[in-house]
Structure formats: C-alpha cells, structure tokens
Amino acid sequence: MSKQKPLLNFINGEWQRSSANDFLDVINPATAESIATVPLSIKSEVDEAVKAAKAAFQEWQYVPVVERIQPLFKFKALLEEHLDDFGKIITNECGKTYNESVGEMRRGIENVEVACGTPSLMQGSNNENIARGIDEHMFRQPLGVVTAITPFNFPGMIPLWFMPYALATGNAFIHKPSEKVPMTTQLMFNLLEQSGFPKGLISLINGGKETVDALLDHDDIKAVSFVGSTPVAKYIYSRASANGKRAQCQGGAKNPAVVMPDANMEMTTKILTDSVFGCAGQRCLATSAIVTVGEAQKEFTQMMLDSASSRKVGYGLDKETTMGPVITAESKTRIEGLIEKGVAEGAKLLLDGRQQSLADEFKNGYFVHPTILGDVDPKSNIAHTEIFGPVLSMMHADTIEEAIEITNNRRFGNQASIFTSSGAVAREFRNKAFAGNIGINLGVAAPMAFFPFSGWGESFFGDLHAQSHHGIEFYTQTKVVIERWPSDWSRQF
Ligand code: NAD
C-alpha cells in the first residue's frame, strides 16, 4: 500500500483521521497508479457518527421545512461552482470521460433542486367533517438517523439521489461511499460543510463491509438506502429489514433493447452505441443486450460494428477520448473471462476488445475496448449475466412477440428499450416489457429527478424508490390525527 495520508471521515462537524487498522489504495483505473488511501472505518466510528447525528436530529426535526431547505440552495450553488473539480476527480478515480463525469453531477444537482421543493412535496392531506365536529389529518414526520451506501459507478450522482431528500424532510444523514471512489465524496462534504447545516447532522464514513454491517446493526439507524450489485443489495435488504429498518436497495441489471426493422437506423445506432459503451458499460442503465427483429438484423449489426469500432478508448481527461477504462484489474479480468465464456457457449465474437494496446502512459490501465458478441443464445448464461463492461450481446427474433418474450425472460428489470417508428408497437412494448424504466427510441431511460428511479425484479428490493416523491415518502412516516372540536364546547368558555 502507498504511504499517502489516508482520506478523512467527517463526523460531528469535524474532519477526523480514522483509527482503522485496514486501509486500501484508491487507484486511477487509467494508469493503475494509487492516487489516495482510504480507511476501512470501524464500528466505534460508526457509533460516534450515529450519536452525533441523533443529537443533531433532536433539533433539526423541528426546524421549519422552509428553513431546512435553505442550506440546500447554497449547496446547489457550490456544486455548480465546482463542476470542473468534480469532473476531474470523478474521471481520475472512476475512469469515465470528463463529459460523463460532469454529466452525472448535473443529474445529481437536479435532485438537490427537486428536494428544495420539499415544503410542497411533504404536504400531508386532510378531510374536514369525517363525522360531525370531527376532522382528520395526515402529517409526514422524519424518521431520525438514516444512511446511504453507494456504489463506484456514479460517485457524484447517486449520493444525491438520497441525501437532499433525507435532510429536507428533517432527518440526519450518514453516507458510506464506495471504497473504490471515495475522493468525490470528500469534495462533496467540503461543500456541505460550507452550506450551513448544523453540526453532526451529516456524516461521511469511509469503509467497507465491517463499516456497512455496523450501520445495518445500529439500533438508532432507521432507514437504509443502497445502490450496488444484486447479491449485496439482497444481503443489505435482508439484514436491514431483520433489524427493523426501512430499506430501499437497488441492484444490478442486464438491460435489453429491441430494434425493429422500421427504426431510424442511423439514430438508433448512435443512441445505442452511447448506451452500450458510454461509461465503459458500467452504468446500471447501459444497454447490454440487443434483440433485432426481422430485417433489422443485417443492416443494424453492421452499423453497430462500425460505430463501436470507432469509439476512441483512453484516459477520460483527454478531449478526444469517448470511452475510459473499467474500474479495477479484477473487473477487467472478469469481463474478459465472461467474453471467453460467451464464445464457449456458442456466441460469435464479432468485435473483440481484449488485448488492444494503448500509449505507454496507460499501458497498465484497465482498458477493455468495445466488444460485440453475435448470435447469442437467449437461453445461454451470457445472455443473463450482468457483465458491467463494454460488451454487447446480440440476439435475433422473427417477430415483436418473440422479441418481448426474449427480453422479458430474465431476472433483472431495470430498463428495457425499443427502437421503432410505430406508435402501436411502442405502445405494446411499453405495456408488456418487464422493467421499471422504459425507453422508447431512447437508450438510457434515466428518470428525471422529479420522477422515481424505478427498477423491478432483482434490480430492486423494497417498495419506495430513489428520487422525487418516493424519496420524500421513504424518509418520512405518516401520522394521522383525528380531532373532535364540538362547536358547543367552544361556547362554554
Ligand atoms: P457493490 O455491490 O460491490 O458495492 C456497493 C456498496 O456496497 C459499496 O459501498 C461497498 O462498499 C458495499 N459492499 C460491497 N460488498 C459488501 C458486503 N459484502 N457487505 C456490505 N457492504 C458491501 O457494487 P459496485 O461494484 O460498487 O457497483 C456496481 C453495481 O451497482 C452493478 O451491479 C450495477 O448494476 C449496480 N448499480 C445499480 C444501480 C441501480 O439503479 N439499480 C445504479 C448504479 C449501480
């Protein structure tokens, strides 16, 4: 491990050095060089963060909501001001291109904007005269201390799916970022510190499994938001629920797109190339399987091959780069192994992105170039496995019915897309597709912050999703008040 000073935790309004025994290197995936050291914080540090959060919550819950959103306006302005810094940090620790890094911050900032509308979003409901002289009201009140555990692939955006809503609704918030990309969160907490939230209300705790388990088992944590792989999502959902907590856990994906013969092939190719290979395929809404229907197969396959081969792979801060590396050496090995397994299962290797060289400076980076597997059997393992890299599986169907059957026969349900010029076909697909986010002539159907970010099947465990009114509902509990004020009583005094 390198000798760099470890990154700090932010607990009880102070930047603190962790007393962890274990530390990890944070690696720039384009160069394989260590750029920071992150602590794997221990249980006593979680306890300290929760204690501070609980104390801050005692007052924060009673601060009027119109006042609670004021620091969020400041935070939004600071995030905007530091977009370029975020762009560089995210690219260096996560690998994506500068434009992709800035893009994810913009999508995150949208959530801060929506959470500024919490005075309206968290309104309850009421009925006067449910019986004579009796009125009934429903209020929303915060839960207490809540936490979010986030993945490596969107270090800027994903924490913002949760934090602004949790705070605006009156909760205290603890963030555990991915240990692979902890530097973005350092900047984010620097800006939160300047935004005017009370001491102790927001904490950053770096770490891995031990840290997460301490959060999941802590009696004073009331709700857990998680985004990551499906096995970990299932684990967190079960352990948090068994401990009596609310949980919303987003998992992995294998997103299909159907290309109809009447689709605009040029537009479809451009959009799907971005969807499959953008962020080196490490997006939970990346298309990773395409089903061509009827005559679409020949023309589209060739266009996709040409477009994928022209992707410029390299370091994300180089202006001409259109695709960066994958996150770790293990990811690269796993992805290359899965390509091999796909071929062993009978797929045709139409474009092989393995073992292509880059300039000396990046020769150790974790690069996998665009890869396309053709004639993938819809029943094969590769058709159902989340690869999470720049690898496309192509399948074929004779009819739209067959295409829907292929795309619906899977355990993940994050996103499904169709490309067509027929409204009737699009409508049929929209209605029957098994997925929480549907794209029609769109390759990345990422809901705007004022819609919930859905997900079905093994892509989501829970009920209320991230973003918008789902976020507000997740972080609040309803209180129903029934009151009797007979009019003759008031006359007696
Ligand atoms: P991951 O599951 O490995 O890690 C996510 C978080 O969980 C990290 O903070 C990590 O420290 C923690 N963690 C990992 N293993 C743990 C364990 N055994 N016990 C407790 N905590 C643990 O995921 P990742 O590799 O960082 O992210 C990629 C995955 O996230 C992909 O599967 C991708 O599809 C998914 N993802 C899903 C969405 C969505 O909206 N559904 C969005 C982004 C990413």
Which CATH number is 292's domain given?
3.40.309.10
To which residue do tokens 């690869």 refer?
A: 387
Q: What is the residue with the minimal CA distance to atom 9 of ligand 1?
A: 178
Q: Is residue 401 part of a domain?
A: yes
Centre of ligand 1 to C-alpha 227, Å, is 6
Within 6 Å (CB) of ligand 1, which residues are found?
A: 149-154, 176, 178-179, 208-209, 212, 227-229, 232, 235, 250-253, 284, 386, 388, 414, 455, 459
Q: What is the residue with the minimal CA distance to atom 43 of ligand 1?
A: 284
Instruction: Give the integer Cα–Cα distance in Å for 191 and 181.
Output: 17
Does one domain contain both 180 and 240?
Answer: yes
Q: Can you say how many angstroms the Cα of residue 203 is from the centroid of all Cα atoms in its chain?
A: 20
Instruction: State yes or no: is 284 an active-site residue.
Output: yes
Number of domains in the chain: 2
Does one domain contain both 398 and 472?
Answer: no
Does one domain contain both 290 and 332?
Answer: yes
Question: Which of 227, 235, 387 to mutate for ligand 1's pocket (most ligand atoms within 8 Å of CB)?
Answer: 227
Does one domain contain both 153 and 259?
Answer: no
Instruction: Give the integer Cα–Cα distance in Å for 276 and 280.
Output: 8
What is the pTM (predicted TM-score) of this model?
0.97
Does one domain contain both 33 and 55?
Answer: yes
To which residue do tokens 């004020």 refer?
A: 485
The catalytic residue among 116, 249, 279, 284 is 284
User: Closest Cα to residue 177, out of 238, 145, 225?
Assistant: 225
Torsion over CA: 411, 413, 419, 425 (sign): positive
Q: Which domain holds residue 25?
A: 9-251+459-480
Does one domain contain both 26 and 118?
Answer: yes
Q: Is residue 449 part of a domain?
A: no
Question: Which of 43, 176, 212 to mutate for ligand 1's pocket (most ligand atoms within 8 Å of CB)?
Answer: 212
Q: What is the CATH number of the domain that holds 216?
A: 3.40.605.10
Q: Is residue 448 part of a domain?
A: no
* Contact indicator for 134, 69 with CB cutoff of 8 Å: no
340 contact partners, CB below 8 Å, separation of at least 6: none
Does one domain contain both 55 and 110?
Answer: yes
* Contact indicator for 207, 176 with CB cutoff of 8 Å: yes
Query: Phi/psi of residue 350, each to 5°?
Result: -75, -30
What residues pair up with 484 in beta bridges, in sequence order? Answer: 134
Does one domain contain both 187 and 202?
Answer: yes
429 contact partners, CB below 8 Å, separation of at least 6: 258, 400, 404, 416, 418, 420, 438, 440
Does one domain contain both 117 and 188?
Answer: yes
Amino acid at 83: L
How is residue 198 annotated by DSSP? Answer: P
* Contact indicator for 415, 430 with CB cutoff of 8 Å: no
Instruction: Give the integer Cα–Cα distance in Å for 97 and 320.
Output: 10
Given the CA of residue 179, which atom of ligand 1 is nearest to it? 11
- Both tokens of residue 41? 């914080």
Q: Is residue 445 part of a domain?
A: no
pLDDT digit string (tens) for the chain, length 493 residues: 566 889 999 999 999 999 999 999 999 999 999 999 999 999 999 999 999 999 999 999 999 999 999 999 999 999 999 999 999 999 999 999 999 999 999 999 999 999 999 999 999 999 999 999 999 999 999 999 999 999 999 999 999 999 999 999 999 999 999 999 999 999 999 999 999 999 999 999 999 999 999 999 999 999 999 999 999 999 999 999 999 999 999 999 999 999 999 999 999 999 999 999 999 999 999 999 999 999 999 999 999 999 999 999 999 999 999 999 999 999 999 999 999 999 999 999 999 999 887 888 899 999 999 999 999 999 999 999 999 999 999 999 999 999 999 999 999 999 999 999 999 999 999 999 999 999 999 999 999 999 999 999 999 999 999 999 999 999 999 999 999 987 766 555 5
